[in-house]
Structure formats: structure tokens, C-alpha cells
Structure 1
Amino acid sequence: MPKRYIITGAPGTGKTSLIQALQANGHQCFSEISRKIILEQQQIKSDKTPWGDLPCFANLVYQETVRELQIPIEKNIFVDRGLPDIIAYLKAKSHPIPEYLLDFPFKTHYVSTVFLMSPWEEIYINDPQRPQSYQEALHIHQCLVQVYQNFKFTIEVVPKTTLTKRVDFIQSFI
């Protein structure tokens, strides 16, 4: 059964650029659900964001991700973030983790190898959907590593190099 490769990392690590480059190379990819939800919440002036009402935001992301996981796929694809990211964000802010996340069958939907984009200060920029400081990004990174390790994923750290070399690195695993 085809599964999803997770590309994860703290805010501002180049995940979206990498997903776009993988798409340009002919790979099927799903874009980041959380950014879409942040934009929607900002448009309606809601605080259901990672820096506002994080538990409500996490629930919205969970619901939308579960819907996306129901979309049939014919071959392995790439996703910009996976459900374990929600746990890491909640953990980073010391929020309780809902049971439905702790009990989720991650390995049913995701390949056990996760591609981790490390914080990279030289490319880090803020925008209206990414107001976190670089220091906050470092903390989120640590939480992501911890969560993916706890769920027994194999973490492959994507090197800090050109976009083309990052794509080549990931393609060497598939």
C-alpha cells in the first residue's frame, strides 16, 4: 500500500521550497495543511493559530489531515509536515497531547523514514504566517526530533545545501 513521506522541520527551514522542487521533478506532493489553516484563520480574524489558541488550531489541522489521509494515492508521495508535527507543537508550548493523537496509527499512513529540515539561520525569514523567532524555531526543532524518535521513525536529516542537492538527497532514498 502506498504511503506518504513526511518532510518536516521547524518554521523557515525550506520545506515548502523543497516540496515545490520535488513537484517540479514529477513527484506527487501535498502542501502544508497548517499554513492553509493559518491563512484561513487570519482572514476571519480568529486566534486559532500556533501562536494563539494552539489546541484549537491543532484540532483543525488534525481534522484536515485526516481528511487528506483518506485521499487514495497510487504511489508513495511527499507531504509538507505530518500528524506527529502537531504533537511537537503542542509539546513545545507545554499543552496536553490529546489521546486521539497519541493513539493514531501513524505507520499505517506514513513511510517510517522522515526527512528533517534543520533550522538554518541564513535562510530563516518571518512572514505573516511565520511570526516565530529563530529561537522559537530551534525549540520546535528539538520537539520535532523528540516526537519522531518517540514514535520510532527513522530521521534522515536533509543537508543544508542547494535546493537541487536537497532534492537529490531525498530522491536517493526512494
Structure 2
Amino acid sequence: MPVQRAAITGAPGAGKSTLLAELSRRGVATVSEVARTILKSAGGMALREEDPLTFADAMLSAQLVAWDDTQIEGPVVFDRGFPDIAGFLRVEGLPVSDAITRACNEYRFEGPIFRAPPWRAIYTPDDERIQDWEEAIASDRAVCAAWRGHGYALIDLPMVSAEERASFVLARL
């Protein structure tokens, strides 16, 4: 069985990381969100705030490494993907580079793309999630448009527990 890369996209704070943790607990290979890793590193938050274009390039580089590291058989579920980087730039009002567009077109996810819709009841900002509720909704719109613009159909996740969401995802992998 070849690798089947799937992704979870959508609004910040909509339960993506919690869902990935549950999928991992059930034995599914997962890839953490590269942006969060960068934001947690020294200077990561400043880079995002002061130079979003370079931050996007850093996300692209990290996403490419994560992609190359998933040469396994079976499903792998990513917390976000290349089109999320394009969506980030659009939210910031910045142009999407040719390199990011090329990555969106050349590195194709074979598996389903799940969308975690904005979910007010569980949304909580944290040290890396700095968007307010309105910005989270705008981010969701932008990343979903980017995925759709690159030819993907999105499957909305139900607003249920992480365990139920994981069962929903597993039934579709």
C-alpha cells in the first residue's frame, strides 16, 4: 500500500491538534503543524509578526521536510498542508510566492482533506494562537479557499468529541 497523505485544515482553535493526538493514539501516523513548531522556537513569534513572508518561507521549508519524511505505507494525517501557507499569506494581504504555488500544485495530498470548521465553544487563544474569533473565521475562509483553489474538495468534520471525530476520519481513510 503506498503512502496516503490526508490533511486537516480549517479554523485556528477548532480542534485539529486534539484530533491528531487522538488519531495518533489509535495508531495513525500524524504530522504536527509546522507553523506551531516554528512559533514555539526562539524568535518564531517575532518572525511571524515582523516578517510574514519569511515566516511563510520557513513554513514551506518545514512542510517540504515533513512531506519527504512521510515515505511510509498507509495513511498519514497532516495538521495543515501547503495550501494553508497560501491562505496565511492571503489573510495577511500578501502575495503568494511562486514557490508556494508550485508546492501546492506538485505535492498533492492523495487522501481526504478534512476541515475543522470554526467552533466557538472550544476556541481559546494561546501563546501561538494569537487570532481573535473574527480573525479565526477569516483564516478559515482563506485556507479553505486556497485548498479549493488548488482542486481539493473539503470534508467538514462534525462538531463532536475528538474520539467521535477520529472515528469519522478513520472511516474515510
Cα deviation, residue 106, structure 1: 4.4
8 A contact 1:112–1:153 mirrored in 2: no
Cα deviation, residue 65, structure 1: 1.0
TM-score, normalised relative to structure 2: 0.92
Cα deviation, residue 121, structure 1: 0.7
Cα deviation, residue 3, structure 1: 3.0
Aligned residues with identical type, % of pairs: 25
For 1:26, what is the secondary structure of its paired residue? coil
- Indicate the residue corresponding to 1:104 in structure 2: 103
For 1:86, what is the secondary structure of its paired residue? helix
8 A contact 1:3–1:109 mirrored in 2: no
Query: Counterparts of 1:68-87 in structure 2 under 5 Å?
Result: 68-71=66-69, 72-87=71-86
Cα deviation code 1:17-71 (max 9, x no counterpart): 000000011101111111010011xx3476212x442111110010111111111
Shift in CA distance, 54/112, structure 1 to aligned 2, threshold 3 Å:
same
Of 58-67 and 107-116, the range deviating more from structure 2: 107-116
8 A contact 2:113–2:155 mirrored in 1: yes
- Indicate the residue corresponding to 2:146 in structure 1: 147
- Structure 2 Cα separation of the partners of residues 102 and 45 of structure 1: 23
For 1:153, what is the secondary structure of its paired residue? coil
TM-score, normalised relative to structure 1: 0.92
Q: CA RMSD in A?
A: 1.6
8 A contact 1:10–1:140 mirrored in 2: yes
- Indicate the residue corresponding to 1:53 in structure 2: 51
Gaps of at least 5 residues in structure 2 are none
Query: Counterparts of 1:125-136 in structure 2 under 5 Å?
Result: 125-136=124-135
List 4+ stretches of structure 1 deviating above 6 A: none
How many equivalent pairs are there?
A: 171
Whether 2:116 is the aligned partner of 1:114: answer no
Shift in CA distance, 159/46, structure 1 to aligned 2, threshold 3 Å:
closer
Cα deviation, residue 93, structure 1: 1.5
